[in-house]
Amino acid sequence: MAGVVYSGKFEQTVNDLLNHNNVAATSKKFTQLETQHGPYSFGKFAKLLMLNSGQLTNWDQDAGGIPAPICYRLTEIFSTNSRSATLLPVVLKVGENVDATHGLIFKTFAHKGSIDSGIHMLCPNTSLN
């Protein structure tokens, strides 16, 4: 799958839900959803967390190409942060990898006087097809 699949609505939605202004409310809703629907796995609450319905109408189809190890890592990042006493805003950036594989880079960084989590999701390079 090309990086453009994830870089549009998916990237914007994650950034909207987990930015400085919304991370606390999203975490609270996330906790409620886990109570109702069981432990989180990547994508499980995607449609239930959307700020407006229809944001990711093709979520199941689009997310189907993300390899299991990447989904597992995203599950760890999102669920750990949502359960943390010190929530970190998340910045997601999606782009193409240098090769035909998926990849994920996670780090924390200082930004404007606070600590944020950064996720760089790498998708297969479309120029190699």
Average of per-residue pLDDT across 7-20:
85
Tell me the per-residue pLDDT of 90-118, one tens digit each, with 9 for 90 and over.
999 989 999 999 999 999 999 888 999 99
pTM for the whole thing? 0.85
Q: Taking the domains of the chain in order of start, what are their residue ranges?
A: 3-128
Q: What is the pLDDT of residue 49?
A: 80
The predicted-structure confidence for 17-41, as pLDDT tens digits, reads as follows: 999 999 999 999 999 999 999 999 8
Comparing 98 with 8, the larger pLDDT belongs to: 98
Q: Say if residue 3's pLDDT is above 50.
A: no
Ordered DSSP codes for the chain = --HHHHHTHHHHHHHHHHSTTTHHHHHHHHHHHHHHH-S--TTTTHHHH-SSTTTTTTHHHHHTTS-HHHHHHHHHHHHHHHH-SS---EEEEEEE-SSSS-EEEEEEEEETTEEEEEEEEEE--GGG-
The model's pLDDT over 36-80, given as tens digits with 9 standing for 90+, comes to 999 998 888 877 887 665 666 666 666 767 899 999 999 999 999
